[in-house]
Each structure stands twice: as C-alpha cells, then as structure tokens.
C-alpha cells in the first residue's frame, strides 16, 4: 500500500457502508470488513473487502477503524462491549465514526477511548445517501482535534466532496443533529407539496423544473419529489432511521431549551408511518400519509 492509502477496517457494511467500502476498494485501499449480517459481509467480499468473522479480527493491524452503524447502542457495543474493538486498539490507530448517534453519548465514547487506549476517535457523520457513499461525494461533518486531522485527510479526499471540521470531537455530531432537523422537516414539507400538486390539476412532473433556482429549490427537494411522484419507496435511507434521528434531535434540543415544534410534527408523522408498518421503506414514503383511499388520481 502507498503511504496515503493504508489499511482500513470497516465495521457495518449495510446501506451506507456497503457502497462506501466498495468505493474505497476501487480507490486502492485495503479494506478489512465485518458485519453481523452474513449476507452483507458476503456482498462486501464480492467487491473486494477482506471479510472477518468478528470486529476485533477486522481491526487488528489496520490504521483507521471506520464505523457505520445504525444506533448509538450498536456503536457502543462494537467499541466497548464484551467483544468490543477498543480492547485491541493501540495508538496510532484511529476510529472514524460515520454513524449518526447521540451527541452526549458520542462525546463519552470519544473521551473513553482516548483515556483508556490513547487512541483518537473522530466523529464524522455524513449526508448524501448511498449513491454519494458509493461515488465518494458525501458531505462529511466532523469533530476532531487539530493533531488528529492529518491522519484522516487521505481518506476524506476519497469519500467526501465536502469535508468540514467544525471544532473539537463531538462537533460533527452536533452538525448532524442540525442536518437531520432540516431533513425531517423538509420531507414533511415535500410530501405536502406533492399531494397538493397532484390534486391541483397541473403538470405535476414539471414542478421541480418550475421551482428550480428559486427560494423553494434545493438538493433534497429535487431528489425526493420525483421519488414521491413515482411512488418509488425503495430505501435509500430507512424511514425508521430518520425517526430514530428525529427522536435524538428532539431530546438534544430539549436539553438546549430550544423550541422545535416543526421538528416535533415531523417526528409525529414518521411515528405514524412506522405504526402503519412502513418503517423499512425509504424516507420519502412519508407521502403515504397523504394518500387516503379516496385520493384523486395523480395529475
């Protein structure tokens, strides 16, 4: 391996970790991986990831340990559980956590790894979805000490179109809470817009073109409006995950004593969607709440 492309361990090879690990292999990294789901591990191995039967095996001898896991509890278990990887990490190994987890819990894990093992933990949650993960065009928002940034710069050049360090460890998790606050509210707004456009008798497919460049335009709108129109709810991001994120956002803003009534409404809508059994669909499936059996045909 070259000096800039070293050995990586990748724990969590699912919706985001699968395409990102494939991209990293294509970029010349040696990627050692583990996932608790055999099918995900097999798929990763098919595109060049070196499979391991457990996380500890995967991280040994690797320079960077990448985590891409669905919950705070999963991250804590992988790091410090009974078979946690922290027990075998040694400086200068560094953890880079792409997961979306609670700010307070993340800061505790970061400090614990530094205190117990002397290793850096960089929180680096992402935005952009599986397509961006697979093409190296993610938006990465990170928290890192200045001394640790150089270790991850080669990696970020390969995975991120935009990489911003907002401050010390934990700062990336704060930025992701802000990101998810906006994302949750925008999904609800676009679902309402879609339902209204379809009921209004206009050429509804032309709405993104009509609004392009104006104040209502945006990347998320241009992505999810066509999916809603097509009723394409194959998951690029699971509804259950966005609900989990909104739960975290609201708990966090409550601690800050910041009122977030719009976010609370988006949370309620996603909880309704989950109770209808649609939690495994894409986040854009929120449109289903606006489609009673008596809804008019799409315009």
**Superfamily designation of domain 7-168:** NAD(P)-binding Rossmann-like Domain (3.40.50.720)
Write phi, then psi, for 51 (nearest 5 degrees): -80, 145
| Per-residue pLDDT reduced to its tens digit, 38-78 | 999 999 999 999 999 999 999 999 999 999 999 999 999 99
Average pLDDT along the chain: 95
Which pLDDT band, with edges at 50, 70 and 90, does 291 fall under? Answer: confident
d(CA 163, CA 287) in angstroms, rounded, equals 32
Which residues, including other chains, have CB under 8 Å from residue 101's CB and lie 6 or more apart?
Answer: 71, 72, 75, 173, 248
| Per-residue pLDDT reduced to its tens digit, 131-172 | 999 999 999 999 999 999 999 999 999 999 999 999 999 999
Write phi, then psi, for 143 (nearest 5 degrees): -120, 125
Answer whether residue 238 shows pLDDT above 60: yes
Handedness of CA 284, 280, 240, 94 (dihedral sign): negative
d(CA 114, CA 89) in angstroms, rounded, equals 11
CATH of domain 174-290: 1.10.1040.10
Give the model's pLDDT for residue 182: 97
Listed by start position, the domains of the chain span 7-168, 174-290
């Amino acid at each position: 391996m070259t000096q800039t492309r070293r050995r990586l361990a990748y724990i969590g090879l699912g919706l985001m970790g699968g395409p990102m690990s494939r991209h990293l292999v294509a970029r010349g990294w040696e990627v050692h991986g583990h996932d608790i789901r055999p099918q995900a591990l097999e798929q990763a191995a098919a595109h060049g990831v070196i499979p391991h039967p457990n996380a500890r095996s995967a991280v040994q001898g690797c320079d960077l340990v990448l985590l891409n896991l669905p919950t705070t509890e999963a991250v804590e278990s992988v790091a410090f559980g009974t078979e946690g990887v922290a027990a075998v990490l040694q400086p200068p190994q560094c953890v880079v956590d792409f997961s979306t987890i609670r700010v307070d819990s993340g800061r505790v894990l970061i400090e614990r790894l530094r205190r117990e093992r002397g290793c850096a933990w960089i929180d680096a949650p992402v935005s952009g979805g599986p397509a961006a993960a697979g093409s190296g065009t993610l938006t990465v928002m990170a928290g890192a000490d200045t001394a640790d940034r150089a270790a991850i710069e080669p990696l970020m050049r390969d995975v991120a179109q935009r990489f911003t360090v907002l401050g010390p460890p934990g700062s990336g998790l704060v930025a992701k809470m802000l990101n998810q606050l906006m994302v949750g509210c925008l999904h609800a707004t676009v679902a309402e817009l879609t339902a209204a456009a379809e009921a209004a008798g206009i050429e509804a497919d032309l709405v993104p073109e009509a609004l392009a460049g104006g104040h209502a335009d945006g990347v998320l709108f241009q992505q999810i409006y066509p999916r809603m129109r097509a009723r394409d709810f194959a998951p690029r991001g699971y509804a259950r995950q966005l609900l989990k994120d909104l739960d975290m956002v609201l708990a966090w803003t409550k601690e800050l004593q910041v009122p977030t009534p719009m976010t609370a409404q988006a949370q309620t809508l996603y909880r309704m969607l989950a109770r209808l059994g649609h939690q495994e669909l894409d986040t854009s499936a929120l449109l289903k709440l606006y489609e009673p059996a008596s809804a008019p045909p799409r315009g």
